[in-house]
A and B are shown apart, each in its own frame.
Chain A
């Protein structure tokens, strides 16, 4: 596609449920990033994939968060046993030469 796409655009879930967020990067981009942006806050780095290398998971806030990237393309961010503090916009970005192209984000609301 022409840009980074994310689905769903909005997700409302109940506390304790698991959620999966999807990111389709720009074709050919070798790097993929996940960030979290809470209301009025900056971007919090979560995880970074680069090619076939082991992902940099240093930003994941707890073991409830995990992500995978299949075939070097699509990525899924999974949040298990969601908590209210997980409510935020989750942004995905991809890059080839260093600067990132961002998707529109998924707004997650945990009730």
Chain B
């Protein structure tokens, strides 16, 4: 069965510092992987996705993520965090099994300090 683990419930980083949010998944085949962001009072927005090909994917707002099959990971990174990045981040794994059921992790809340 699919599952997604985000080990960090919350992370605090200083503005301008680098960021890495961890995501590990469990799936029997090559998964489709996603990162979504939910800002306070906002809906969920897709940051980036991995379906196939280059394992380093670029997303919006300067985010990137790297798919590492050997580690079953899809960590999200940003070289320099801005205060506006404070939000909840969700990793998700999907499977194209005739449909596209997607399972979300529990989320990591990012706090940015000045």
Q: Which residues of A contact B (CB under 8 A)?
A: 31, 33, 35, 41-43, 45, 48, 50-51, 53, 56, 91, 93, 95, 98-105
For the complex, is B111 an interface residue (Cβ under 8 Å from A)?
Answer: no
Q: How many A-B residue pairs have CB under 8 A?
A: 54
Mostly, the A contact residues are strand
Q: Among residues 75 to 114 in chain B, which have CB atoms less than 8 Å away from a CB atom of chain A?
A: 90, 94, 96, 98-107
Report B93 CB to chain A, min CB distance, Å.
11
Which residue of the partner chain, among A35, A43, A50, A99, contacts B98 with CB atoms under 8 Å?
A: A50
**Interface size class, chain B:** 20 to 34
Q: Which residues of B contact A (CB under 8 A)?
A: 32, 34, 36, 43-46, 49, 51, 90, 94, 96, 98-107
Report A22 CB to chain B, min CB distance, Å.
16
